[in-house]
Amino acid sequence: MDRPTRDEAGDQAMIEAFLSATPWAVPATLVSAIVLVPLVRRSLLAYLFWVATAGFLAVTVTPNPGGASGRTLSLTPDVPDLHQLLSASDQTGLNAVIAVPMGLLGALWARRLHRWFPLLVAVVVPPLAEGVQWLVPPLGRVSFFLADVTANWTGVLLGVVGAILVGAATLWAGRLSRSCRRRGA
């Protein structure tokens, strides 16, 4: 069997670090995916949005076994740059990446609903999660970092941009398909 490359070893180490730092994240997300099935029968987008939101909360609000003991409050915003977003080992980049599904699915679902509710949820959940981390010491995450919130909002924004691109590609493909059908008819 071939030895893993440096990138594969780095990815494996990152996954192991994530699972050891947030042992409740995967089980909590799976349980929420099962619990949400009967609640959201009408729309696959709604279901996926709520599972993505539950996954975000499972990563950010579940107990941290090696958590800190003193409260930390930092109101310094820090918008991640491109290098941080592309670096899987950077905490700021990871904070942005975990919020992308909420932005993407929220924007796609909002487009279907013709309402802003999913996007409002995607924007409000990150600061609420940071607040819970700061207010509930037994979680072992006794910190509120505005930099984490801005990184999460950057991820939501990237997801919304992705949804816009998906919508534009779908619109373009539909027009192309109708044009081809008219020519063939």
Give the C-alpha separation, 49 to 42, whole Å.
Answer: 13
The residue extents of the domains of the chain are 6-61+73-184
CA angle at residue 125 from 120 to 131, to 5 degrees? 135
pLDDT greater than 80 at residue 47 = yes
Task: For the chain, give the number of residues.
Answer: 185
The total of other beta-carbon atoms located within 10 Å of residue 128's CB is: 14
- pLDDT (mean) for 173-183: 78
Per-residue confidence (pLDDT) for residue 28, from 0 to 100 = 80
Tell me, what's the pLDDT at 53? 93
For residues 41-60, average pLDDT: 88
Q: For 74-78, which contacts have Cβ atoms below 8 Å and span 24 or more sequence positions?
A: 74/143, 74/144, 74/145, 74/146, 74/147, 75/146, 76/146, 76/147, 77/146, 77/147, 77/149, 77/150, 78/146, 78/147, 78/150, 78/151
CB 61 within 8 A of CB 139: yes
pLDDT at 52 over 80: yes
Q: How far is CA 70 from CA 19, 73, 127, 146, in A?
A: 23, 10, 19, 17
Contact 142, 130 (CB under 8 A): no
Residue that wins the pLDDT comparison between 139 and 19: 139
Predicted confidence (pLDDT) per residue in 88-147, tens digit: 567 788 888 899 999 999 999 988 777 889 999 999 999 999 999 888 877 777 788 898
State the average pLDDT for the chain: 81
Residue with tokens 């109708």: 178
Does the predicted TM-score (pTM) go above 0.85?
no
